[in-house]
Amino acid sequence: MGLLDIAIIGGGPIGIACGLEAQKKGLSYVILEKGPIVNSLFNYPANMQFFSSSERLEIDDIPFISKEAKPKRDEALEYYRRIVTSNKLNIQLFEKVLEVQKANDIFHVRTSKGQYQANHVIVATGFYDIPNLLNVPGEDLPKVSHYYDNPHYYAGQKVAVVGASNSAIDAALECWRKGAEVTLIIRGTEVGQRVKYWVRPDIINRIEEGSITAFYNSTVKAIHEDTLEITNEKGETKTIPNDFVLALTGYKPNFQFLEMLGIHITKDEKRLPEYDPETMETNVENLYLAGVICGGMETHKWFIENSRIHAKMIVAHILDKNQKRHP
C-alpha cells in the first residue's frame, strides 16, 4: 500500500468512523482489525440491546434504522457492516497488530499478516478484550466465563452471575427466564445505578419475589467443580451449589499495547492514557487515540455516542498539519 497517511488499529465503530472520515477527506488509510467487522459487538450477548437509541450510535449522520428506539446487537452489526461494505472502506480483517515502531517520523506497523508504513496512527482498540478477573482459586475452571452469549446454554443449570451492572443483570434475567436457577453475587449494597432504566425495576422485582437470589456485599472466595464459596463484608463464608459462573465484572484496555506504543499512562487507579482532548493526539507525535480506549480504567466515561466525534477531530488535525507542512 506504500506510505499511508493513516494506519487505524481496530475496526470497531470508532475505527470505522475514522476510516470513513479519512476516505471522505482524501487521505490514504487502512483499518487493521484482528477479528471480523466490529469484533467487540460481534462478541456481545446474542440478544443484547443497546442503552443508546440508534441515532446516537450513527456515524457521519448515516441513518441507523432500528425496530425499537434502542437497537439490538444484530441491528448494530447490520448497520456498521453496511457502512464498511457500501463505502468500500479499506479494512483488513483477522489481522492483528503486533507491534508499532516509529523511526524517522514514520510508523512501522507489524501485523499477524504483514507490514504497513504510515505517517499517522490512530489507536481505536476499545476495551473488550481483557476481562477484570476475580483473581480467586478456580477461576480457570471451564465452567467459568467472563463473557456471556446465549441463555439457552444455561437452562436447568445453577448459574452464579457475578456483577451488578448491565452485562451481569441482562445475563441474570435472561438465564432465569430460560429456566436457569440464578444467583447474583453483588459486591456493593445494590443493583448498579447505571443499569438500563427499563431493566433495573425488572431485576429488583425478581429479587424481591425470590425468583433470583441475590447476595449483596459479597464476593467470590473460591470456585470448585460443583460449588462456589462466597464471603460477605463480615467475613462470613457460604458455600452454594453451582454449575456455571458468569463473572461479568467489566473489562479493561490493553495497557501493555499502549505502553508498547510509548503512550504515557497515569500511575493512579484510573490509568488514563495521555492525549490532548482538543486533538486526540497522544504524547507521541502523530499517534492518536479514538473511542472508548481513551478512558483507561474509567470504562463508563466513553461510549460510541460521545466518542464518535473523535474521527472528525483527528482527521481535521491531520489535515491541518498537512496544510501547514505543504501550504
Enumerate binding residues for ligand FAD (CB under 6 A). Answer: 9-15, 32-35, 38-41, 44, 48, 50-52, 96-97, 124-126, 128-129, 167, 291-292, 303-305, 307
Instruction: Name the minimum Å distance from CB 39 to ligand FAD.
Output: 3
- Contact residues for 250 (Cβ-Cβ < 8 A; gap 6+): 131, 132, 163, 165, 167, 299
Residues 6 or more apart whose CB falls under 8 angstroms from that of 78 comprise none
Residue 299 CB, nearest distance to ligand FAD (Å)? Answer: 8
Beta strands of 163-311 (E only): which ranges? 181-185, 213-215, 218-223, 227-232, 237-241, 244-247, 251-252, 287-289
327 CB-near residues (< 8 Å, 6+ apart) = none
In terms of Cα–Cα distance, which of 51, 60, 66 is closest to 18?
60
CA distance linking residue 45 with residue 51, whole number of Å:
14
Q: Do the Cβ atoms of 115 and 131 come closer than 8 Å?
A: no
Give least dist CB 221 to ligand FAD, A: 26
Q: CA-to-CA distance for 292 and 313, rounded, in angstroms?
A: 15
Q: Smallest distance, Å, CB 144 to ligand FAD?
A: 19
Tell me the closest approach of the beta carbon of residue 243 to ligand FAD, in angstroms: 23
* Residue 273 or 291 having the CB closest to ligand FAD: 291
Select 301 or 321, whichever has its Cβ closest to ligand FAD.
301
Contact status, residue 156 vs residue 169, Cβ threshold 8 Å:
no
Q: Any idea what the Cα angle at residue 21 is, between residues 57 and 313, rounded to 5°?
A: 80
CB of 170 to ligand FAD, least distance (A): 8
Of the pair 5, 170, the CB lying nearest ligand FAD is at 170
Closest approach of ligand FAD to the CB of residue 298, in Å:
12
Q: How many angstroms separate the CA atoms of 72 and 142, rounded?
A: 29
DSSP string, 123-172: E---S-SEEPP---TTTTSTTEESS---GGGGTTSEEEEE-SSHHHHHHH
By beta-carbon proximity to ligand FAD, the closer residue of 97 and 228 is 97
Nearer to ligand FAD, 17 or 230 (CB): 17
Q: Which is closer to ligand FAD, CB of 39 or CB of 183?
A: 39
Closest to ligand FAD by CB, 215 or 251: 251
Tracing cell 486526540 back to the chain, one arrives at: 280
Task: List beta partners, residue 9.
Answer: 32, 123
Task: Provide the minimum distance between the beta carbon of 81 and ligand FAD in the complex, in angstroms, as a whole number.
Answer: 13
Q: How far is the CB of 290 from ligand FAD (least distance, A)?
A: 7
Block residue for cell numbers 443493583: 191
Between 40 and 218, name the residue whose CB sits nearer to ligand FAD. Answer: 40
Q: Is the distance from CB of 196 to CB of 68 less than 8 angstroms?
A: no
Using the minimum distance from each CB to ligand FAD, give the nearer residue, 91 or 182: 91
